[in-house]
Amino acid sequence: MDYFELREKAKLTIRADDFYSPFEIAVNQRNIGCLYLKEENSLKQQQDRATAGFTVQKAAEAKLPTEFGAFRIVGFRSTNSDEEFVALVKGDINPEEPTLVRIHSQCLTGDVFHSLKCDCGPQLQRAMKLIQSEGKGIIVYQQQEGRGIGIVNKIAAYALQDEGADTIEANVRLGFEIDQREYGQCAEVIKLLGAQRLKLMSNNPDKVRALRNAGLEIVERVPLEISANQPAFKYLLTKKEKMGHLLQLNGIF
Ligand SMILES: [Zn+2]
């Protein structure tokens, strides 16, 4: 019996018992109040212990019906920066059972504007469809646009690409690392949502390594390869050849 049930039961007992004087009822209610407070504090301590060392906190949760099916949308805030994380969740997540998971890095141009320069939008949609058909899974939407350089710098990088640079050369010429993303807090979000054994939907070996290093078990890597159209082909080839992404690129060859 949890303490909410205990409280309701105690209230009923006191109200139903005619032998109590108003004074005794007041005393009992005060005692019970203390008991609840103690229970509440111990619950809070348990929760604090469970999330000790975490640098993200769950802040909000709501239902989100989508074109692909019904999901829950969960908002997290970083405790050491202004960063926010969003997770789309479906089904009951259990640490024992392998869970389909994707960490999707925000791509305004691909996700929202359906740009043909990359495969991000179709990858996100594929991940949502896979989770819908599995009935269970998590997508962590990480707001690190343009592999962490921000949308305006990404547009500047696209301008360099218009002049012939590839995606990596463009980032380097702008003074950025090839990939500035970090996945530690995404791993925390996944753990806070209750997953431990992952079927990771990704072509990116860095993500596999980062999540393993964060203590999550990757039981399977689920490729998310989209048939590339011509504008995205050079981008995907660069990812394959210079960043080690696990792509076949059969859509073109
Ligand atoms: Zn993209």
User: Residue 121 C-alpha to ligand 1 middle, in angstroms?
Assistant: 7
User: Residue 119 C-alpha to ligand 1 middle, in angstroms?
Assistant: 6
User: Residue 159 C-alpha to ligand 1 middle, in angstroms?
Assistant: 15
pLDDT of 17 > 70? The answer is: no
Give Cα 91 to chain centroid, integer Å.
14
In this structure, the strands spanning 137-142 and 197-201 are: unpaired
Residue 146 has a pLDDT of 73
Catalytic site positions? 179, 181
Q: Which residues, other chains included, contact 50 with Cβ-Cβ below 8 Å and sequence gap of 6+?
A: none
Residue 253 has a pLDDT of 37
Residue 228 has a pLDDT of 62
User: Residue 120 C-alpha to ligand 1 middle, in angstroms?
Assistant: 4
pLDDT tens per residue, range 50-105: 566 899 999 999 999 999 999 999 999 999 888 899 999 999 999 999 999 999 99
pLDDT tens per residue, range 166-188: 888 888 888 887 776 788 899 99
Would you state the torsion angle of the CA atoms of residues 17, 23, 26, 31, taken in this order, to the nearest 10 degrees? -90
Residue 252 has a pLDDT of 45
Residue 87 has a pLDDT of 98
User: Residue 109 C-alpha to ligand 1 middle, in angstroms?
Assistant: 6
Residue 155 has a pLDDT of 92
Counting residues of the chain whose pLDDT is more than 70, the rounded percentage is 79
User: Residue 23 C-alpha to ligand 1 middle, in angstroms?
Assistant: 69
Mean pLDDT, rounded, for 129-141:
97
Q: Which residues, other chains included, contact 238 with Cβ-Cβ below 8 Å and sequence gap of 6+?
A: 166, 167, 168
CATH architecture of the domain with range 56-144+181-243:
3-Layer(aba) Sandwich (3.40)
User: Residue 144 C-alpha to ligand 1 middle, in angstroms?
Assistant: 11
Residue 53 has a pLDDT of 81
Residue 95 has a pLDDT of 95
* Residues with C-beta atoms within 5 A of ion ligand 1: 107, 110, 118, 120
What does the alpha-carbon distance between residue 88 and residue 71 come to, in Å, rounded to a whole number? 6
Lowest mean pLDDT among 88-102, 147-161, 211-225, 236-250: 236-250
pTM for the whole thing?
0.72
Strand, coil or helix: what is 221? strand
